[in-house]
């Protein structure tokens, strides 16, 4: 049995290559609530970037893929695991939260 509550959709994306993020403390930005989401970045082994999205907005896989492709084009990170808990955020809010998280691991630089 899955530990994901009924009604949520889980999407997994992975990207290879990119610049190593190096050592950093896990970063959490945003708050799960009506129309918002939280993003956590954690260091991970390897030269890839793994993304797991748990969302209440089912059926939007292609939109999530486009948002994640755009993110990876802007921030080609390696050695990072990204967890996103979504409760219906728009793509613009998702991009904002991802950019905020990357700024945190880069020492506050966008």
Local confidence pLDDT in tens for the 110 residues of the chain: 455 556 889 999 999 978 999 899 999 999 887 668 999 999 998 899 999 999 988 899 999 999 999 999 999 999 999 999 999 899 999 999 999 999 999 765 44
CATH number attached to the domain at 9-105: 3.30.230
Mean pLDDT over the full length of the chain: 89
pTM: 0.88
**E strands in 7-101:** 9-16, 19-20, 27-30, 37-43, 48-55, 77-78, 80-86
């Amino acid at each position: 049995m899955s530990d994901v509550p009924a009604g949520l959709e889980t999407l997994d994306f992975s990207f290879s290559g990119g610049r190593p993020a190096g050592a950093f403390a896990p970063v959490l930005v945003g708050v799960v609530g009506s129309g918002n989401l939280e993003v956590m970045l954690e260091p991970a082994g390897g030269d890839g970037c793994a993304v797991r999205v748990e969302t209440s907005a089912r059926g939007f896989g292609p939109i999530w893929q486009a948002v994640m492709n755009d993110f990876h084009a802007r921030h080609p990170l390696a050695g990072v695991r990204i967890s996103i808990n979504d409760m219906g955020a728009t793509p613009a809010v998702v991009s904002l939260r991802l950019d905020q998280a990357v700024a945190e691991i880069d020492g506050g630089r966008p």
